[in-house]
Amino acid sequence: GFVGANVFYDAFLPVIARREERDRVSSLGYAAGYLGGGLHFGLSLLVVAFHHRLGLTAPAAARLVMASAGLWWAGFALAAAGRLPEGRRGRRLPPALRRLRLGAGYAVLGLRRVGRTLRRLRRLPNLLLFLAAFFAYNDGIQTVVRMAAIYGRQELGLAPAVLMGALLVAQA
């Protein structure tokens, strides 16, 4: 999903921006993403709200906007990837991990690094407290975001077009 994709997008930041530019470039990238997402969502809202004028049934309009979202993001991702400079190769895996198949060596290396970081957290209690608070807060926000439309539809009886409008306003 979105968070998983961001891992890969964020990994390109050192390739496309010098250290002193990274905050600005990252901020511009997120802003462009939110603007693009809001634009597509607004257009999708119009398609769903006026599906009958377009000669579509409500389910067909829903399928159309879902398919267009995939094409929208795939198109921008491919356009961005096509403009990336040729990257340098990273460090090779240690020999013992190279023997593992299907990228398992990278997974093992990643888990080892996470473990090392977690062991270091004992020396940084304020960071540990911050991370715990962040995860609790973020989990709450994500729950509200994911459940808002379901709650609005099932408990408040809001129409899909009204829900989409509310979500568009909330995104802005």
**Do the beta carbons of residue 161 and residue 48 sit within 8 Å?**
yes
| Cα distance between residue 136 and residue 11, in whole Å | 25
Q: How confident is the model at residue 159, as a pLDDT?
A: 87
Least confident span in 59-68, 81-90, 124-133? 81-90
- With a cut of 70, say whether residue 88 has pLDDT above it: no
Q: What is the dihedral of CA 124, 130, 134, 137, to 10 degrees?
A: 140
| Cα distance between residue 131 and residue 26, in whole Å | 22
The answer for residues whose C-beta is within 8 angstroms of residue 77's C-beta and 6 or more apart is 5
Q: How confident is the model at residue 89, as a pLDDT?
A: 66
Phi-psi region of 17 (alpha: psi -120 to 50; beta: other; left: phi over 0): beta
Coil, strand, or helix at residue 86?
coil
Residue 16: CB atoms within 10 A of its CB come to 16
Phi, psi of 167 (to 5 degrees): -65, -35
pTM comes to 0.66
Q: In whole angstroms, what separates CA 26 from the centre of its chain? A: 14
- With a cut of 70, say whether residue 87 has pLDDT above it: no
Instruction: Write down the domain spans for the chain.
Output: 1-90
